Amino acid sequence: MKPSRPKPHMTEEMKPFWDAVSEKRFKLMRCQKCQEWYWPAAYCRKHENEPFFGNMRWEEASGKGKVFAFNIHRRAFNPAFDTPYVYALIELDEGPMFGANIVNVPVEDVSINMPVEVTFETYDDIILPQFAPAVPRKTG
């Protein structure tokens, strides 16, 4: 049996994000004053903020984006990961960058600017947001 994957680091501010993920929903933090989106949890950088994230809310996001940068990992730092795998920085349609694995595609087919969308993968006892190609790929 494979060892468990490391668990994401969960802070109090990020708990609503992980609670949503556990229901296979993808949320980002959104400023209620200017509608700007943030991930991870942050105060809005465009103006003064109310204390305790008062002007920030977790809202359902599109879960869509494109590959901004990626690495192909041929050796896993942790034996729980199957190799090769792709770790990518995804530029979400809402603006924030999100780091995740790219799944459901051969690693050599991943490219910069490839449209991707969130997919929820269950590993052991945890659900993680990962990304997969957003458009059906032609075969043959």
Candidates 16-24, 28-36, 56-64, 80-88 — which segment interacts with Zn ion by CB under 5 A?
28-36
Q: Whose Cβ is closer to Zn ion: residue 34's or residue 112's?
A: 34
User: What mask of x and - would describe binding to Zn ion in positions 31 to 60, judged by CB under 5 A?
Assistant: x-xx-x-------x-x--------------
Phi-psi category of 23—alpha, beta or left, where left has phi over 0 and alpha has psi -120 to 50? alpha
Spell 76-92 as b/e; 16+ CB within 10 A means b.
eeeeebeeebbebebbb
Q: How far is the CB of 29 from Zn ion (least distance, A)?
A: 10
CB of 25 to Zn ion, least distance (A): 23
Q: Summarize as ranges the residues that interact with Zn ion (CB under 5 A).
A: 31, 33-34, 36, 44, 46
